Amino acid sequence: MKKLVIGNLKMNILSPDERDRYLAWLKKELAGKKNNDSEIILCPPFVHMEAFKKWNNKKIHLGAQNMFSETKGSYTGEISPVMLKNLGCEYVILGHSERRRYFGESNGSINLKIASALKNGLKPILCVGETREEKENERTLGVITNQVKEALLGVKRAKAEQIILAYEPVWAIGGEKVPTANEIMEAKLLIRKILVDLFGKKYADLVPIIYGGNVNIKTVAGVCVDSGMDGVLIGRESLQPHEFVKIADIINNSCKF
């Protein structure tokens, strides 16, 4: 299994000029790099998806930050999985804590999106994780259990290898702190156990489990390498191509199986 280095650009890059500068900078940073042991995925805002695709760097795969569960019709303002697929997008982040928090997404609505993504040939990157309050009340494991079980309800085991699980503690996102390697390993073990319950061991083992929340060149060894994660989901540092590519390098060089 290749390690995954996923950049979530969130609601940034505000103009075509800024996008072109970003892509030119990224191209420079990627020049001459070999990332044989990892796969880089970038998730730009929808409006830049086509330009990212046309830029067509073979080292980069594309993901979306969200989608709707329906494929077509009167759903003002929504984006169809078929639209994404037709633009060359391969992945889609679903259930990000910012969507849960600001847009009221529930495990139930995320479950519909997961089913639709899989049906329409997109690989869902399912985000789960506890808030600070839930952590303080020692509810972390219960919260993660519900999020994974409810979001994956009804998913067939044959589809398991299309799914990526991202453990993103909400309190670490955009912050200064990260969980200890032990805390991350504990979350990973729990997620793996739930996946085994849902799909059986053979299929559960095909699901990469990655970490997200304040990943940077200083934290990446602890949150990915030491804790045995299958990759990272990066927010802020993905907006800085030199930092993003350095993180990818660290993962590529040190996360050998």
Burial 24-57 (b: 16+ CB within 10 A, else e): eebeebbeeeebeebbbbbbbbbebbeebeebee
The amino acid present at 47, given as its one-letter code, is V
Among 66, 214, 219, 227, binds ligand 13P (CB under 6 A): 214
Can you tell me the distance from the alpha carbon of 238 to that of 43, in angstroms, rounded to the nearest whole number?
A: 10
Query: Quick one: which segment of 21-29, 101-109, 137-145, 166-174 binds ligand 13P (CB under 6 A)?
Result: 166-174
Position 129 contacts ligand 13P (CB under 6 A) = no
- 61 tagged catalytic: no
Closest distance of CB 64 from ligand 13P, Å: 13
Closest distance of CB 26 from ligand 13P, Å: 17
Closest to ligand 13P by CB, 30 or 215:
215
Question: Which string of x and - marks every residue 4-43 that binds ligand 13P (by CB under 6 A)?
Answer: ----x-----------------------------------
Can you tell me the distance from the alpha carbon of 159 to that of 176, in angstroms, rounded to the nearest whole number?
A: 36
Q: How many CA atoms lie within 13 A of 103 on its CB side?
A: 14
Strand partners, 8: 43
- 50 tagged catalytic: no
In total, the chain counts a number of residues equal to 257
Q: Locate tokens 């995925």: which residue?
A: 41
Position 99 contacts ligand 13P (CB under 6 A) = no
Can you tell me the distance from the alpha carbon of 80 to that of 39, in angstroms, rounded to the nearest whole number?
A: 25
Closest distance of CB 184 from ligand 13P, Å: 14
Position 233 contacts ligand 13P (CB under 6 A) = yes
Q: How far is CA 200 from CA 183, 203, 254, in A?
A: 24, 6, 29
Binding residues for ligand 13P, rule CB under 6 A, total: 13
Position 212 contacts ligand 13P (CB under 6 A) = yes
The closest of 167, 185, 175 to 222, measured between CA atoms, is 185
Query: Quick one: which segment of 68-76, 112-120, 153-161, 231-239 binds ligand 13P (CB under 6 A)?
Result: 231-239
Closest distance of CB 196 from ligand 13P, Å: 25
Residue with nearest beta carbon to ligand 13P: 235
Give Cα 1 to chain centroid, integer Å: 16
Position 94 contacts ligand 13P (CB under 6 A) = no
Can you tell me the distance from the alpha carbon of 64 to that of 79, in angstroms, rounded to the nearest whole number?
A: 10
The catalytic position among 29, 39, 96, 130 is 96
Q: 3-state class of 34 per DSSP? A: coil
Position 159 contacts ligand 13P (CB under 6 A) = no
Closest distance of CB 247 from ligand 13P, Å: 10
Extract the runs of DSSP E, i.e. beta strands, from 67-216: 91-94, 123-128, 164-167, 209-212
Enumerate the active-site residues: 96, 168
Give me the residues that bind ligand 13P (CB under 6 A), please. Answer: 8, 96, 168, 173-174, 212-215, 233-236
